[in-house]
Amino acid sequence: MNIISNVIGYPYIGATREWKQTLEKFWKKEIEEDVFEEQLKTIRLNRLKRQQDLGLQLITIGDFTKYDRVLDLAVMFNIIPKRYDVLPNASSLTTYYAMARGTDEVIACEMTKWFNTNYHYIVPEYENQELFLTNNYILQQFEEAKNELGIIGKPTIIGPYTFVDLAKGYDEKSRAAFFLKLIPLYAQVIQQLVDAGADWIQIEEPSFTKNLEEEEILLIEEVYKQLAEAVPQANILIQTYFEALTSFERLSNLPVAGIGLDFVHGKTENMKSLLQHGFPKDKTLSIGIINGRDIWAVNLAEAVSTISTVKQLSGVNDLWISSSCGLQHVPVTKKSEQNLPDELYDALAFADEKIREIVHLTNYIQHGTWAKDGIVAESIKAIESLATHPIRKNEEVNNLVKGIKDTDFTRTVPFKERQVLQKKSLNLPDYPTTTIGSFPQSQLVKKTRAAWRKKEITNDQYAAFVKEETARWIQIQEEIGLDVLVHGEFERTDMVEYFGEHLTGFAFTKNAWVVSYGSRCVKPPIIYGDVDWTHPMTVKEVVEAQKLTSKHVKGMLTGPITILNWSFVRDDIPRKEVAYQLGLAIQQEVKALEDAGIKIIQIDEPALREGLPLRKENWDDYLQWAVDSFKLATSKVAVDTQIHTHMCYCEFNDFIAPIRALDADVISLETSRSHGELIDSLKVHPYELGIGLGVYDIHSPRVPSISEISSILEESLAVIPKDQFWINPDCGLKTRHESETIASLTNMVEAAKLLRAQVLSV
């Protein structure tokens, strides 16, 4: 039997985020394009060499990007929207980054969640363009690896079905034409790779794990039939992940050389399918056995048992041992995390450690012995040491969760009655303006925080700086004319990390970064114990800000599900239980803000949708406890306390029922990149609670004009009643620069004033 170790993909940011730093230097014009390309090449080769040194046998090529892999494909196939024609050279980096980030001339393409992860991809916009192969970057990376390092890698490309599934701009009629245009281009890419010496080509089709109707399965069969006929000599492995393969019997028999299955998130169903249908004996089976989405070390004995069962059920001769999905969702290495508690550190595995696990498993399956004595015992000891630690045995917290009742999820007064009382209490103008919460974290803010963390300045000095920065931005907001202010969150590094630092059960890393979108990297906290609220976390800063203005200042909190979904979460108890622990903790903070006189409290839940299972039949269970966790945090507030929440890139039109179920008085939503979709949805599905339109894109440096914002507002008048209509940016402003933030908010407030005048004059 031929056993090979491989991973679906490897992090591209670098152990110290050198990829991010290189991109941002180029964007700031600190380096020229040739230097930029050379530095990216160095990063690419170093990451390949790193995997090679770890003992990985088959190394993936093409999982590197200059911003986003879906965007890479769109540009490679010339799926460039017509609005970018104003820019020179359609295939240039200027156009590429304009599609990702926007420019003064053109808005960026829409960005949304990659399946149910915290990564965001750029949505391809099909406009019936003439499609052709502009530049086979995957071939270039393959030849680079071969020539520079002698690596005959496994090129990877997002598959045609998934690519179209992720794109927009077509109807059912034009969708068929889209596929017909794409198949020859995929064939051309694959043929060039075969000609260059690629032994295997990985085609990623995570959409094969979603609910598929008969017509979709027929379409997939036709697409791969045509590909097989076009490049019959190619060894193609279809790689699925995030769930079990749908319609197993038919899709496992597609005319390809191998299939990759997820035996972590899709283990139960994939096992049942193997038992019921077997597996084609002439195909290679890639077993996704190491979890590519969490940071916990595997139980090697259990992994061997699973692999052995799969071997027996499948009966294949060629077996790959792999990650369950690409490793971009985990940090690069735990080597720099020496300050973590021993019992936690020993139980962790980041990308490099996961590769070592794969190599150990491959060696054992191949030879029947472990490369290192005692490695299985060490694996079990590390897991059990954490499982029995006191931090996971907080009886008070566990009893509170057990004591939760249905009434704990319900506000005592319905929205329409609350709305009347809140309107009288808050005394806000029509179409009130506000922001989502954070303001730009300048280099001075970051530098001062770093000095404080290094103990180069005292706690009092740091607190004084935060207070001064908050006061400065309260004054800026007053001058701009915003109606509901925020304190700016200058004391917070991250909207999840900050709260975790004040709650029990969390641990924090030094360098465990992952990509959220573009060059935006986050360092997720680790929830490894029971979560408990011990003291107020936000009251001091918000109350100090409120003293500086007669306008309302919002309390700003992160919701329990976003904290859950944006953290690495313990795997010894159900996620529902952790979510309830978080809901109870946020409930205590809400009460503390209320007791301090804060009348508007925003509890952000941008990650609510991304926790959805891929299969719709599994949605209800998740949504029940996810929505209940939010309501657990908010249900005890006074009738005239106004609860806001925020979501971004959530595909409102297919998520309106859960949003309504939150029973938040106001929800702010991203609409700047997908405004038309929201308006169309509201025409069909009116929303009865308050809604804040995200009228400009904060992920782009461009400043929207007053007329541009006014156009969005005027179009919205037909579907959002005046007493429900709020105006705001589409997300927090932490990553933006001060000058563009002030200019954009000034235009937003002016557009709101024009709207009020227009409505009054009618």
Q: How confident is the model at residue 676 (pLDDT cuts 50, 70, 90)?
A: low
**pLDDT tens digits for 10-30?**
999 999 999 999 999 999 999
Mean per-residue pLDDT over the chain, rounded = 94
Q: Same fold for the domain at 2-390 and the one at 404-496+539-761?
A: yes
**pLDDT tens digits for 459-493?**
999 999 999 999 999 999 999 999 999 999 999 98
Name which residue leads in pLDDT, 183 or 697: 183
From the list 673, 671, 689, the residue with the least C-alpha distance to 681 is 671
Q: Is pLDDT at 653 greater than 80 in this prediction?
A: no
Q: Can you read off the two tokens belonging to residue 366?
A: 């191949």
State yes or no: is 737 an active-site residue: no
Res 366: pLDDT: 93
**pLDDT tens digits for 591-626?**
999 999 999 999 999 889 888 899 989 999 999 999
Chain-centre distance for alpha carbon 713 = 28
Question: 700 a known binding residue?
Answer: no
**pLDDT tens digits for 377-407?**
999 999 999 999 999 999 999 999 999 999 9
**pLDDT tens digits for 195-208?**
999 999 999 999 99
> Under a CB-based contact definition with an 8 Å cutoff, are residues 462 and 452 in contact?
yes
Q: Which residues, listed in sequence order, are joined to residue 122 by a DSSP beta bridge?
A: 111
DSSP string, 121-160: EEPPB--SPPP-----HHHHHHHHHHHHH----EEEEE-H
Q: Is pLDDT at 652 greater than 80 in this prediction?
A: no
Question: 114 a known binding residue?
Answer: no
Residue 488 phi/psi, 5° resolution? 100, -15
Greatest mean pLDDT among 88-92, 235-239, 377-381 lies in 235-239
From the list 358, 353, 251, the residue with the least C-alpha distance to 4 is 358
**pLDDT tens digits for 128-175?**
999 999 999 999 999 999 999 999 999 999 999 999 999 999 988 889
CA angle, residues 651, 657, 660, in degrees to nearest 5 = 100
Residue 461 phi/psi, 5° resolution? -65, -40
Question: 604 a known binding residue?
Answer: yes
Question: 650 a known binding residue?
Answer: no
Question: 738 a known binding residue?
Answer: no
Task: Read off the amino acid at residue 211.
Answer: N
3-state SS track over 32-53: CHHHHHHHHHHHHHHHHHHHHH
Name which residue leads in pLDDT, 546 or 648: 546
Q: What is the mean pLDDT of residues 690-713?
A: 87
Q: What is the mean pLDDT of residues 32-49?
A: 97
Q: Is pLDDT at 762 greater than 70 in this prediction?
A: no
CATH classification of 2-390, choosing from 3.40.50.280, 3.30.365.10, 2.40.40.20, 3.20.20.210? 3.20.20.210
Question: 379 a known binding residue?
Answer: no
Res 649: pLDDT: 54
Res 493: pLDDT: 83
Domain ranges of the chain: 2-390, 404-496+539-761
Question: 502 a known binding residue?
Answer: no
**pLDDT tens digits for 266-322?**
999 999 999 999 999 999 999 999 999 999 999 999 999 999 999 999 999 899 999
Exposed/middle/buried for 171, CB within 10 Å: 0-12, 13-18, 19+? exposed
Q: Can you read off the two tokens belonging to residue 422?
A: 């809140």
Name which residue leads in pLDDT, 624 or 680: 624
Report the distance separating Cα 379 and Cα 675, nearest Å: 50
Res 656: pLDDT: 82
Q: Is pLDDT at 422 greater than 70 in this prediction?
A: yes
* Helical axes 706-716 vs 675-684, angle rounded to 10°: 10
What phi-psi label fits residue 255: left (phi over 0), alpha (psi between -120 and 50 degrees) or beta? beta
Percent of the chain past pLDDT 90, that is, above it, reads 84
Res 91: pLDDT: 60
Exposed/middle/buried for 723, CB within 10 Å: 0-12, 13-18, 19+? exposed
Q: Can you read off the two tokens belonging to residue 557?
A: 């909190």
Which residues have a Cβ under 8 Å from the Cβ of 335 and sit 6 or more positions away? 15, 352
Chain-centre distance for alpha carbon 213 = 27
DSSP string, 427-480: -PPSS-B---SB----HHHHHHHHHHHTTSS-HHHHHHHHHHHHHHHHHHHHHH
Catalytic residue (one of 120, 265, 360, 699):
699
Q: Is pLDDT at 695 greater than 60 in this prediction?
A: yes
> Under a CB-based contact definition with an 8 Å cutoff, are residues 330 and 350 in contact?
yes
The CATH number that domain 404-496+539-761 falls under is 3.20.20.210
